[in-house]
């Protein structure tokens, strides 16, 4: 197996990424040049549609691993972004082992799964079909999000599903599921996070975390989380603009 994103992820390397939400390939190009290991392309929230994701992948996927968060744990959504050439998927709101197994199944070609067969960008529009199909099951990453208290309750069974490559914590949605929106330091929310952390580390499942700043992700890096999503394109833009205006106004 080549030293691709999935290989590095499963090996437990620290992979530093950031979130792309703007529907412009130029934004992704700027972030790809910043030195990140991967880009989290957010197809769940915000304006990105299939055409936008295609444009981003055409612009930067040969330079940096692009992992797409699909809008739902849906067969069509998963195969569509993989056919576009994404290096992997992030599946939101995976709350049970059965859901995790379905996500893996949709992302793998037979006999390991039921991914539909088409001719698209990932296959060189048909001219690299055999090459892609031969390597896709080994190289496509499947990351599931634990972002609901039900996922916390079922985390021991979720991590046992073959083909799940990492668990990405969604702290804000998780806090909301406890009725404590944004209170990610609340003891009940932290207890849920700690259960996920301990379960994954015991089973040697790579762990991911999203935070809007370095300060937000550093405690989780210190705890051994290896898949990091730090910052969002719109916040980079907005914060930079506000700093500039503050300096200009003295």
Catalytic residues: 45
Supply 239's token pair: 């914060």
- Rounded Cα distance between 144 and 151, Å, is 10
Q: At what angle do helices 75-84 and 97-107 cross, to 10 degrees?
A: 40
**Tokens 């995976």, residue?**
94
Which region holds residue 6: left if phi is over 0, alpha if psi is between -120 and 50, else beta? alpha
Q: What is the CA radius of gyration of the chain?
A: 18
- Rounded Cα distance between 244 and 250, Å, is 10
Which region holds residue 182: left if phi is over 0, alpha if psi is between -120 and 50, else beta? left
Q: What is the DSSP letter of 125?
A: G
């Amino acid at each position: 197996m080549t030293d691709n994103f999935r290989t590095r992820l499963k090996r437990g390397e620290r992979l530093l990424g950031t979130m792309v939400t703007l529907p412009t390939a130029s934004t992704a190009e700027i972030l790809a040049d910043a030195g990140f290991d991967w880009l989290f392309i957010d197809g769940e929230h915000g304006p990105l549609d299939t055409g936008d994701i295609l444009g981003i992948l055409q612009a930067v996927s040969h330079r940096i691993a692009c992992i797409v968060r699909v809008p739902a744990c849906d067969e069509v959504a998963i195969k569509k972004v993989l056919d576009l050439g994404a290096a992997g998927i992030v599946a939101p709101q995976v709350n049970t082992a059965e859901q995790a197994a379905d996500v893996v199944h949709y992302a793998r070609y037979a006999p390991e799964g039921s991914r539909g067969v088409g001719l698209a960008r990932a296959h060189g529009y048909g001219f690299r079909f055999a090459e892609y199909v031969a390597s896709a099951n080994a190289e496509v990453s499947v990351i599931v999000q634990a972002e609901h208290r039900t996922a916390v309750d079922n985390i021991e069974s979720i991590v046992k599903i073959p083909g799940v490559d990492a668990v990405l914590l969604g702290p804000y949605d998780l806090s909301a599921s406890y009725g404590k929106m944004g209170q990610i330091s609340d003891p009940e929310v932290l207890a849920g996070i700690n259960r996920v952390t301990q379960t994954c580390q015991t089973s040697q499942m790579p762990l991911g975390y999203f935070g809007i700043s370095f300060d937000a992700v550093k405690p989780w890096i210190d705890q051994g989380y290896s898949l990091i999503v730090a910052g969002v394109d719109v916040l980079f833009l907005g914060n930079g603009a506000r700093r500039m205006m503050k300096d200009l106004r003295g």
